[in-house]
Amino acid sequence: MPKRYLFIIAFLLIFKLNVMPDTEIPLPLIEPERAVADNAPQSIKNAVKNAPKDVLIGIGSAKMAMMSMSRSAANARARAEIARQVNEVTTVLIRYHSVINEADLSDEVVFKETIIVSLSKAALSGVSIIEEDRDAEGSYWVAAMMSKPDLIEQIKEVQEEANDAAPAMASFDAETLINASIR
């Protein structure tokens, strides 16, 4: 009797694995970072708090000998923070796409590296400054943001080059994935 049960269980397990549809893998929800340093000016905190939820926010600060240098450095740091988030979002979405489409790992790596390298070279033209301020110690603060449509545009601009490098990933649809995962 026990052998019969073992046979039935093995048969049902093989049947489920081969015949029944796979469960759908949920798209990861991405919540852009909203952390603001305690010593940031209130205007910077308010700008971040009042920004739409589906934008990427970058905050930079700097204190240098000249205010223009401080402003430039703070701006560059805010943009670098957005670039870091763009890379993270892109990596998560490419990985998700690869799993869903059962793409070869080597294609995923080539595609991801091509997009991320190209994005890191890009000037992130969709970034806009939403607030600038100085604190009591003389540090210059910048809050910058990138909207979801600008993020999609940045990825689309570099995707053609990535598709050439990894044709198996050509079905990657940045717009659909970003719209569904960033809310």
Report, as an integer, the average pLDDT of 128-137.
94
Higher-confidence residue: 161 or 137?
A: 137
- Distance (Å, rounded) from C-alpha 57 to C-alpha 55? 6
Look at residue 20 in the predicted model and tell me its pLDDT: 41
| Structural contact between residues 155 and 90, judged by C-beta atoms closer than 8 angstroms | yes
Amino acid at 29: L
Cα 159 from Cα 85, distance rounded (Å): 17
Each residue's pLDDT tens digit, 16-64: 444 444 445 565 666 666 788 889 999 999 999 999 988 889 999 999 9
Summarize pLDDT for 54-111 with one digit per residue, the tens: 888 999 999 999 999 999 999 999 999 998 888 888 888 888 878 777 777 788 888 8
More confident residue, 136 or 183: 136
Average pLDDT of the chain is 80
What mean pLDDT is predicted for residues 133-154?
91
Position 142 pLDDT exceeds 90:
yes
Q: What is the pTM of this model?
A: 0.77
